[in-house]
Amino acid sequence: MRASTLQLLQYLSAMALVVLLGFHIIERVPGLSPLTPESYEESLSYEVVRRAYKEYWWVLALLLAAALFHGLNGLRGILLEWRPAAHRVINLVFVAAFIALLAYGLRTIALHLAG
């Protein structure tokens, strides 16, 4: 993939993180979210968090993918500046790390949905 395409994806993932993190935080603010009860403390209760997981699991999945891509791509860029000759190894390691961490995170979300 071209460097300009990866940089564009880096910017898009940053914008996605702002939107998704905003939604994730607003979900806990009393009065703004339909899931949130009277207080912040009640919003962290097991029942409310479980209901939020069931209704907004896709937000967590998108947040996971955007955060993983953004963080790993940023680290990849730093390592490429430090050791440009190892670009193939660095790219391969980061693709493998993204796939493995995304699979583990999605598995965790799926286990919470099922259990």
Rounded Cα gap, residues 51 and 71, in angstroms: 29
Distances (CA, A) of 34 to 27, 38, 52, 55, 64: 8, 11, 10, 11, 23
pTM of the model: 0.85
CA 28 distance to own-chain centroid:
18
Q: Which domain holds residue 73?
A: 3-114
48-74: pLDDT as tens digits: 778 888 888 999 999 999 999 999 999
What local confidence, expressed as pLDDT, does residue 54 receive?
87
Nearest to 67 by CA among 28, 16, 9, 24: 16
What are the b/e assignments for 74-111, b being 16+ CB within 10 Å? eebbebbeeeeeeeeebeeebeeebeebbeebeeeeee
14-50: pLDDT as tens digits: 999 999 999 888 877 777 776 666 777 887 788 877 8
**Structural domains counted in the chain:** 1
